[in-house]
Every structure is written in structure tokens, then in C-alpha cells.
Amino acid sequence: MAAETSTNDLLGQESNPTYMPNGDERTLAILVHVLSIFFWIIPGLIIYLLKKDESPFVAEHAKEAMNFQLTLTLLYIVLAISIIGIIFLWVPYVIQLVLCIVAAIKASDLKLYKYPMTLRLIK
């Protein structure tokens, strides 16, 4: 789907979409990342179900946001189970905040974005 890819392993990967998304698609792609900070996987799921057939750009951003939130959930569970991990429960939230903002900026620039170290559970 991506025509050109540039890589920055620490902050994820960005690529150009195969077509030029319109303003509404851009707005929804930004919203899916920003709202995921506060509402977990719900915004990505709703936007994906509503727009998956209309906009590949929005669908890609929504799937990526859901995959990232699911990966973070697994990380939270592992940290909560371990005794030492409870001390570090704040770390995934900081990572989430930073990377969701980066993803929203990439969506604003009309780029596709892949979060780093994310399990791709939703294809």
C-alpha cells in the first residue's frame, strides 16, 4: 500500500499513501490517535468500522492505533503481574502519550504511520 518508506526505529515508520487523502480523512486519522490516548481501543474500532470501506488511509491509521493499544494493554498486564513491574506502570503511559502525538502529527502530514515494537494483531 505504501509507495515510499522512511524508517526511524525509535519513533516508528512513516510511508506515503498511494493516493492523496482529503481533509475529512486527515481529520479522522488524527482523531483516532488523539482519542486513543483517553479512550483506549474504542475510537479506533468505531472509526475503523465506519470508514474501512470508504478510506484506506483512515482504515490503516485506525488498525495501527488499535494494534498499538492492544500491545500496550499486554505490557500493562505483564507489568501489573510482576512485583517490580508495578513500580514502572507509568512508563507505558508516557510511551503512549509520546507515540500517539507522533502518530497524530504524521497523520496531519498525510503520512501512514507504524508504531514501533507493536504486535500487528489486527491485519
- Per-residue pLDDT for 67 more than 60? yes
What is the reported pLDDT for 2?
Answer: 43
Mean residue pLDDT across the chain: 88
What is the reported pLDDT for 16?
Answer: 78
Confidence band (pLDDT; 50, 70, 90) for 1? very low
What is the reported pLDDT for 3?
Answer: 44
Confidence band (pLDDT; 50, 70, 90) for 8? low
Q: What CA–CA distance (Å, rounded) separates 74 from 81? A: 11
Q: What average pLDDT does the segment 86-99 reach?
A: 91
Which residue, 17, 4, 19, is CA-closest to 64?
Answer: 17
Contact between 1 and 60 under an 8 Å Cβ cutoff? The reply is: yes
Q: What are the cell numbers at 32?
A: 483516532
**How does 40-56 read in b/e, with b if 16+ C-beta sit within 10 Å?**
bbebbbebbeebeeebb
